[in-house]
Amino acid sequence: MEEKVLITIWRNDVAPRFDQTTEVLIVSVDHEGRVDHRKTVVLPTVSAEDLCHMIISEGINWVICGGVEDEFYQYLTWKKVKVIDSVIGPYEEALELILVERLESGANLLKPPPESEDAR
């Protein structure tokens, strides 16, 4: 069965706030866990309610986002959408991890800065 993943994005990262999202990536995944189709959508307004409506009407199975208010989290999970929230870091890396079922809520995908020689 094909599944759809929606990632809230801001520049190259997962958007820090669900209710302030202006752009999303929607990815269709085939039954073998491979990306079948992907599209980026720029939202006409900043609205958590409109984003929830889009998630339901597009048949999204998974949402990957940063911070999300409990009201919207509860609504989406009630509608049987799996929500992985509090994700920080590059959205492409989040996508790679969800495809291999290794992404969890609270994931910090930011790479620590390299240690300088002075710090040693």
pLDDT in tens, 33-89: 899 999 999 999 999 999 999 999 999 999 999 999 999 999 999 999 999 999 999
Nearest partner of 62 among 113, 1, 13, judged by Cα = 1
Give the whole-number percent of the chain exceeding pLDDT 70.
Answer: 95
Element (H, E) at 35: strand 35-42
Domain range summary for the chain, segments of one domain joined by +:
3-39+47-108
Quickly count: other Cβ atoms within 10 Å of residue 43's Cβ: 14
Question: What per-residue confidence (pLDDT) applies to 64?
Answer: 98
Give the whole-number percent of the chain exceeding pLDDT 90.
Answer: 88
Q: Does domain 3-39+47-108 have CATH number 3.30.420.130?
A: yes
For residue 99 the two structure tokens come to 């495809």
